[in-house]
């Protein structure tokens, strides 16, 4: 019996998450890329913009209206916030699975979403249906979804880091701290002053301390796991590197527990979460280009504070790789299909 080939479309294939999706999907044994859209670059060969794909893809960028997206099995939206919510309904009604890498369907409370994203939501009824797709928490829901809300990059690193503690109920969930750093690619492929080389290089700064868009997403996810209120201070930072997120997480222990055993047991069967040996310090370069989160857990001086170190590649486990992982779940494939790339060193 011939294995089914999944027909794939990508909306917004010119950004960093778009080209990362392409890099992963051209190596996926069960996918056929049917369409890659871009209004601005329509007609241009994809490999002309992204020479790393020469010899691997012969498609041209196409206008969304002429791309035949409704004939695909799944469509990824690698677009800015506010695009997928305008176009998802037509695709869903045509029987197409939708995976949104932006934030349009992540936050269940539409009023909160509108507050943080500064626009009116165009499709609130799909928000109610969409599945927030962090596989390590809700595979069963993902497998039955029509609309997938792919988690953000910071939220992936932070939630995976805190998850075992919250599930075990061994920390004060009202006072969590996430101190997270991201490479410049997290800002997207666009021309803005703060991400110019002369501005971001040889520099380090916090931003969004008063209220970052990923705050309510993280709190929503942790609240669901805790089955009660969660208090979180989340401070993101911009670092002078291209890829990577390093989240340093702090919580106060409320009971004595073997933290190393807790983390090792929780993630023992997770292909894409690697709990490092006790005393380790994970590095962002150890996950560069790979769909994996590496975690280390510490209890400094044997005190009542637990420190979790969580690293991911923001473009892979934090975006495109996790989206492909979710696609694999949707179509009943092994989760690591097409996702066994080893991280790049040096």
Nearest to 141 by CA among 132, 150, 153: 132
Residue of 31, 72, 153, 170 marked active site: 153
Helix H or strand E encompassing 208: none
Bond prior to 346 in cis (omega within 30° of 0) = yes
Determine whether 107 is exposed, middle or buried from the number of CB atoms within 10 Å of its CB (0-12, 13-18, 19+): buried
Q: Is the pLDDT of residue 194 over 90?
A: no
Confidence of residue 249 (pLDDT cuts 50, 70, 90): very high
Q: Is the pLDDT of residue 254 over 80?
A: yes
| Whole-angstrom distance, CA of residue 161 vs CA of residue 150 | 18
| Whole-angstrom distance, CA of residue 188 vs CA of residue 182 | 12
Q: How many other β-carbons are positioned within 10 Å of the β-carbon of residue 116?
A: 17
Q: Is the pLDDT of residue 198 over 90?
A: no
Mean pLDDT of 232-241: 96
pLDDT tens digit string along 29-88?
A: 999 999 999 988 999 999 999 999 999 999 999 998 889 999 999 999 999 999 999 999
pLDDT tens digit string along 279-317?
A: 999 999 999 999 999 999 999 999 999 999 999 999 999
pLDDT tens digit string along 262-277?
A: 999 999 999 999 999 9
Active site residue 123: no
Domains of the chain, CATH where assigned: 6-129 (3.40.50.720), 154-314 (3.30.360.10)
Confidence of residue 193 (pLDDT cuts 50, 70, 90): confident
Backbone dihedral region of 43: left (phi > 0), alpha (psi from -120 to 50 degrees) or beta? Answer: left
Q: Calculate the CA 254 to chain-centre distance.
A: 30
Query: What value does the mean pLDDT of the chain take?
Result: 95
| Whole-angstrom distance, CA of residue 332 vs CA of residue 139 | 11
- For a pLDDT cut of 90, what percent of the chain falls above it? 91
Supply the pLDDT for residue 190: 76
């Amino acid at each position: 019996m011939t294995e089914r080939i999944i027909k794939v479309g990508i909306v917004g294939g010119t950004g960093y998450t778009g080209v990362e999706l392409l890099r992963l999907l051209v190596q996926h044994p069960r996918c056929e890329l049917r369409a890659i859209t871009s209004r601005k670059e329509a007609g241009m060969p994809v490999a002309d913009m992204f020479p790393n794909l020469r010899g691997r893809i012969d498609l041209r960028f196409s206008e969304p209206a002429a791309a035949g997206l409704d004939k695909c099995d799944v469509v990824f939206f690698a677009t800015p916030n506010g695009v997928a919510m305008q176009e998802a309904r037509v695709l869903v009604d045509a029987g197409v699975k939708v995976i949104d890498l932006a934030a349009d369907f992540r936050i269940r409370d539409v009023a909160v979403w509108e507050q943080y994203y500064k626009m009116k939501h165009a499709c609130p009824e799909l928000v109610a249906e969409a599945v927030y797709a962090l596989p390590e928490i809700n595979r069963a829901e993902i497998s039955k979804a029509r609309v997938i809300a792919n988690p953000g990059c910071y939220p992936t690193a932070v939630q995976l880091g805190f998850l075992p503690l919250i599930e075990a109920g061994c920390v004060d969930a009202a006072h969590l701290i996430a101190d997270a750093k991201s490479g410049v690619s997290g800002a997207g492929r666009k021309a803005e002053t703060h991400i110019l080389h002369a501005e971001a290089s040889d520099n380090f700064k916090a931003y969004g301390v008063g209220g970052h868009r990923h705050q309510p997403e993280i709190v929503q996810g942790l609240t669901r796991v805790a089955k009660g209120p969660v208090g979180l201070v989340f401070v993101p930072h911009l670092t002078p590197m291209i890829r990577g997120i390093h989240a340093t997480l702090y919580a106060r222990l409320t009971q004595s527990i073997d933290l190393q055993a807790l983390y090792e047991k929780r993630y023992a069967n997770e292909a894409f979460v690697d709990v490092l040996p006790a005393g380790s310090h994970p590095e962002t370069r150890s996950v560069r280009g790979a769909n994996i989160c590496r975690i280390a857990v510490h209890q400094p001086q044997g005190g009542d504070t637990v420190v979790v170190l969580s690293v991911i590649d923001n473009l892979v486990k934090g975006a495109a790789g996790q989206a492909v992982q979710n696609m694999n779940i949707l179509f009943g494939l092994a989760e690591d299909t097409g996702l066994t790339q080893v991280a790049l060193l040096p």
